[in-house]
Structure 1
Amino acid sequence: MTRSFSSHLSICLLPAVLLLIHAAIASDPSPCDPLSALYPDQLFLPNTTLYTSSISSYAWMSGHLQPACIIQPQSTSQLSFIIKILADFNTTFAIRGGGHNANPGFSNIDNEVTIDMRGMRQIEVGDGVLRVGAGALWGEVYDAADAKNVSVMGGRISTVGVGGLTTGGGMSIFSLDRGWVCDGVKNFEVILSNSSVINANATSNPSLFRSLKGGLNNFGVVTRFDLTTFKHGPIWGGTTLLSNASESDLIREVTNFKMAKHDPSAHTVTIFGYNLPDKSYMLLNNMWYLKPNANKTSLHGLMSLEPKLNQSLVVASAGEHARRVATPIPAGTWALWGTTTVSISPTILFKIHEIWKSTSSLITSKFPASDINFAFGYQSVPKSTPESGPNSLGIPSTAVPERDWVNLLVTFQYQDGALTSDLEAILLGAIDKVDGIAREEGAHVKYKYMDYAHWKQDVFGGYGAEEVERMKGVAQDYDPLGMFQHQVTGGFKLF
């Protein structure tokens, strides 16, 4: 009842609001006034409690920008009209889902308009599908799935948003068996730049459907994801903390795991962390097995490593595992991410590890008293032959990334924002060194995982020229105004 009344009210107010829009454009080119007139309870202005709460809810300080106003739509019909207003004003704007991406400007903006999708978090359980509002978090999705004794191809951290992770490809506990998170989408509901609402799936707008699976925000605003559900029982897994004396053993076992016969039930994320100013090391091995017992499996070597400083292993649903991984981020934390991909060999991870060690020494000499956490993380790349039809990631059909490829995530977390420029150069420099070593070994892979990429990295270049040209054509067909290339400034762009 509430939603239909809201839509009826918008229609009744439409003539008056259109007059207000035209007057505002003539006098002051800001869309915040007509948005406030139409949706007064959903528009947040600076120096108000709701505005401050929205800004402070971003995971990293890079998201703490200052828009002229924040609008939080509650339905697709409301957002459709908001898009029309923003098109009329030709204003730049940001689209915020979970607010977890570390790249500045990807989900917030200074001095313009931010659309906060968190008002659209409705989840409906259908026949073999979960219909999920684009502002939902993965923990909310798993709650709905667990209640029906099903699961979905979802994120591994409960506090991450559905929208950005999925349209960037997305990795899941189920990825080595079922593919990318985007491959689990059966249908996208999308608002185009002309404010029309369409569905994209295998039979309706199939070119757009493919492009949204890895093409991010280049085509429209996704308002709902219809996720395919499947029956799945309890999953074994958790986290082991190892002593830094285990560095070489851990690299060896990760290499052995990758080079052994592929096991689609086994999923690992291995992290080598270094903390300043106390010069401490953190070796974390996250493991999941898609069955209740992982004994005598491909994970045996990783499970056997000693000495263990701490270990937390459970048999639980995918949702419970995602909640256990979601550790709080300290207030005031800045972050930088970057990524690359290599093909496994007997020596490549040992050589990359030397770059982690030399970079740790570099930041110790340059910033000895700073509060910095630096990490390299390794994991397998998802299966690339989805049964749901092609995605836009450009991974060759002849590749077997779940068996052969390793994703590397390089991260900095720190408390002093003034260090950003220097740490950014170090991060990108370390990735360049990794790519150089990989080329020497014949292990270089062009593909870069969008959801981990630094904004200066050429993500679409890794998709391949043919796929990029195809997506450009789709963008021109569905967004002839170029709104999502020029007005939505955040994200990786095709043009």
Structure 2
Amino acid sequence: MVRLSIIALGLLYALSNTLGVVADTATLTDPAIDGTISVGFSNVNITAILAEAEKELGVNGTVTDNLPDDSYGAPGTTITTRDLEKLQELRKRTSGTGIFGAIACLSLKLLFSSKTATVGTPNYNAWNNPSFWSATTYMTPTCVFRPTSALDVSLALRVILLTQADFNVVGGGHSAIKGWANTEDGVLIVLSGLTGVNIKTGYVEVGAGERWGNVFTELDKKKLMALGGRMSTVGVPGLVLGGGISYLTNQHGFVADQVENFQVVLANGYVVSANKYLNPDLFRALKGGSSNFGIVTRIDLRTWPCPHGVYSGQLYFNDRSEYPKIFDAVYNYHTVGALSDTQTHLISAFVYVQIPGIGGLHMGAFTAFRNLSAPISATNPGPGTALAEIVHLNPTVRDASTLQVRPYGTQAIELGAGDAPGLRQDMRDFSVYANRALYEELFLLWESVMIPKHGNKAGFMGTIAFQPITTTAVAAGVARGGNSLGLEGNTKTMAIINLTHQWADPKDDTEILKSLDELLGLAIALAKAKNSYHPYYYLNYARKQDNPIGSYGTAAVNRLKGVSRFYDPCRVFQDRVSGGFKIPGL
């Protein structure tokens, strides 16, 4: 097979820009690209733009004097990692990186005047803080860049690469960790302009700026469903790149397992497809490897018919005397029901909420879900046998629940309706093997550590949730070519223990976070004492101090290291993106 040289790839990419078509570069696996950065971009002289930005800032030559001689933007020109050493040394010599962020932001403003916002301009506030779920993540980037196409992202990354600026990327912003999708100095790339839900035969193309509520609303119109977030307000890319748990996970695996294709902009500006045929190593890495390899601009998800809808809704238990029976039902579902009816899902959450004028309220808040393969009838009751125990535990609760036959996407919309942006938030997790006694002891531990000390604080709400990952879910991922999560070989049900808390006053941050750290340590010790601890951390819930990618195991981490070295040889997403869970030991 004839293989294209890197120069030919550059020419092909430049031609594709001229024609308005994104090139899918299957030949990216050519070893010649390793260590090579393309700086050409059709009809754009990047060096001239950088020079103008330097001139306006009064820092002539700061970056441009260090550029390689061939970096004037002609299609097909390239520079190697060795040529970038001068730029990297410049970054080390300069006190702070503020000047690089300023040059990058002004360059982007010159290139994309309506898509780049700086401090003090109306779009800066409109695009920045409202993009984030938790007030703990608010920061002040040098500028906010809101692209509307993959080609916008491509050119922006080339500018950022050459300026040596820091940057970060936000999709739905549903993280509580400061700096994980924001930056205090540099460029914040906001993906909310990358919209679109394009339904095809057997799959749907989803722009990375979408949230799951809109995706499901469009699919419901066609009586289709796809794996995705269980709350409508969650963004698409972050959930998928962290693995993603869905109402359909028990049957079809993690959300990432049912991705057909990722459209990705690499650090060098190439726009590539990653699927089982094109760049398959990158494809697998993105399924749980987070934002370590490029900026995902579109995700194509497999779809299934949903002609009969789903039977789902929420159940609220407020009688503490029922809790022992509830834990029996949860354990039985995790170890028996979920395996006997893989089309079901159960979120088992215990909540404490402080209600002004009323006081503290304890409750069990459960979400039951069953995909209906046939209409409900006497022989096919809504909950089936798997969910019958929890649904019928208390007739009063069942009758007051929101359980009903409904379009698939409306369950995520119902659950997302209670999401409250703008408060102080914290999420964390750990994993255990299914253990009924442990579940109840973890609940009592959570309640004793968090409620007496913090239950009366303004806006406080605490949740401990038990979410099963069955062997069928893991096997579904293996059948689709594998992911990065390292769960292959599990022989029994595990459960992700998710702790989510919110409060209103930043003055309470220190005390609440200290208690949560204490709680997590005690909970993990308890699980280990009962020989039920599992080392896996679900990335989308993990706290900053934890190492979810490291928890995937040596084989998975080594694969991720290799993919990162190949597709990001200059370590742009390891060193210049200020937050996010990185690949350990790279």
Q: State the TM-score, normalizing by the size of structure 1.
A: 0.93
User: Do structure 1's residue 272 and structure 2's residue 361 form an aligned pair?
Assistant: no
Query: Would you say the 8 A contact 2:132–2:421 is kept in 1?
Result: no
Tell me what 1:303 maps to.
391
Which structure 2 segments of 5+ residues have no match? 1-16, 23-40, 63-98
Q: Distance in 1 between matches of 2:568 and 2:274?
A: 14
Amino acid corresponding to residue 378 of structure 1 in structure 2 = F
C-alpha distance in 2 between matches for 1:280 and 1:319: 29
Paired position in structure 2 for 1:41: 114
Letter aligned with residue 76 of structure 1: A
Query: Retained in 2: the 8 A contact 1:333–1:414?
Result: yes
Residues in 2 aligned to 1:39 and 1:6: alpha-carbon distance in whole angstroms = 17
Residues 391-421 of structure 1 deviation map (CA, whole Å, 9 limit, x = unaligned): 000112x214xx6111110011000112223
Cross-structure match for 2:437: 347
Question: What is the percent sequence identity of the aligned residues?
Answer: 27
Query: 1:414-473: CA deviations, max 9, x gaps?
Result: 001122232222222212222112112111111111011111112122100121111111
Distance 1:428 1:226, change over 3 A: same
Indicate conservation of the 8 Å contact 1:56/1:64, yes or no. Answer: no
Equivalents in 2 of 1:189, 1:438: separation in Å? 40
Q: Highest CA radius of gyration, 1 or 2?
A: 2
Deviations 1:131-165 (A, max 9, x none): 11111111222233223332111111111111000
From the superposition, tell whether residues 253 and 110 of structure 1 become closer, same or farther in structure 2 (CA, over 3 Å). same
Cα distance in 1 for residues equivalent to 2:118 and 2:319? 49
Q: CA deviation at 1:121?
A: 0.9
Alignment correspondent of 1:212? 286
Q: Are 1:170 and 2:244 counterparts?
A: yes
Q: Give the CA RMSD over aligned residues.
A: 2.3
Retained in 1: the 8 A contact 2:131–2:172? no
For residues 463 and 218 of structure 1, the distance between their equivalents in structure 2, rounded to whole angstroms, comes to 15
Aligned residues: 487
Distance 2:285 2:383 in 1: 40
Q: Which consecutive unaligned segments of at least 5 residues does structure 1 have?
A: none
Q: How does 1:179-190 map to 2 (within 5 A)?
A: 179-190=253-264
CA distance in 2, matches of 1:146, 1:329: 22
Alignment of 1:400-411 (within 5 A): 400=491, 404-411=493-500
Distance 1:108 1:282 in 2: 35
Match of 1:323 among 403, 407, 413: 413
State the AA in 1 paired with 2:469.
V
Check conservation: 1:238, 1:312, Cα contact below 8 A: yes
For 2:508, the equivalent position in structure 1 comes to 419
State the distance in 1 between where 2:465 and 2:154 align: 40
| From 484, 487, 490, the counterpart of 1:399 | 490
Q: 1:313 aligns with which of 403, 409, 431?
A: 403
Asked whether the equivalents of residues 233 and 419 of structure 2 are also in contact (C-alpha less than 8 Å), the reply is no
Give the deviation of 1:247 after TM superposition.
2.5
Partner of 1:238: 313
Q: What's 2:93 paired with? A: none
> CA, structure 1 residues 272+207, in 2 after alignment: closer, same or farther (shift >3 Å)?
same
What is the distance in 1 between the residues matched to 2:181 and 2:193? 15
One-letter code aligned to 1:273: V
Question: What CA deviation, in whole Å up to 9, does each residue of 1:90-114 have, x standing for no partner?
Answer: 1111101011111111111113210
Q: Counterpart in 1 of 2:205?
A: 131
Cα distance in 2 for partners of 1:303, 1:97 equals: 36
For 1:419 and 1:184, the matched residues in 2 are separated by: 41
How far does residue 22 in structure 1 lie from its aligned partner after superposition? 6.2
Partners of 1:358 and 1:41 lie apart in 2 by: 52
Partner AA of 1:172 in structure 2? S
Instruction: Name the counterpart of 1:143.
Output: 217
What is the deviation of 1:38? Answer: 0.7
Distance 1:32 1:371 in 2: 37
Amino acid at match of 1:258: H
Q: Decide whether the 8 Å contact of 1:255 with 1:344 is kept in 2.
A: yes
Tell me the SS of whatever aligns to 1:347: helix
**What amino acid is aligned across from residue 409 of structure 1 in structure 2?**
N
- Following superposition of structure 1 onto structure 2, how do residues 253-292 of structure 1 map, counting pairs within 5 Å? 253-261=329-337, 262=339, 263-276=341-354, 278-291=359-372, 292=376
How far the C-alpha of 1:46 sits from its partner, in A, is: 1.9
Q: 2:572 aligned with 1:483, yes or no?
A: yes
When normalised by structure 2's length, the TM-score is 0.79
Match runs of 1:345-494 below 5 Å: 345-364=435-454, 368-381=456-469, 383-385=473-475, 386=477, 387-396=479-488, 398-400=489-491, 404-494=493-583
| Worse-matched range after superposition: 178-187 or 28-37 | 28-37
Counterpart of 1:282 in structure 2: which amino acid?
A: M
Q: CA offset at residue 484 of structure 1?
A: 0.5
Deviation at 1:346, TM superposition (A): 3.5
> What displacement does 1:230 show?
1.6
Indicate which of 323, 327, 336 corresponds to 1:247.
323
The verdict on how the C-alpha distance between 1:331 and 1:216 changes in structure 2, with shifts beyond 3 A counting, is: closer
Instruction: Tell me if the contact between 1:411 and 1:427 (Cα under 8 Å) persists in the aligned partners.
Output: no
Amino acid at match of 1:14: N
2:327, 2:436 within 8 Å by CA — same for their partners in 1?
Answer: no
Amino acid across the alignment from 2:328: R
Q: Distance in 2 between matches of 1:329 and 1:46?
A: 28
Alignment match, 1:20: 52
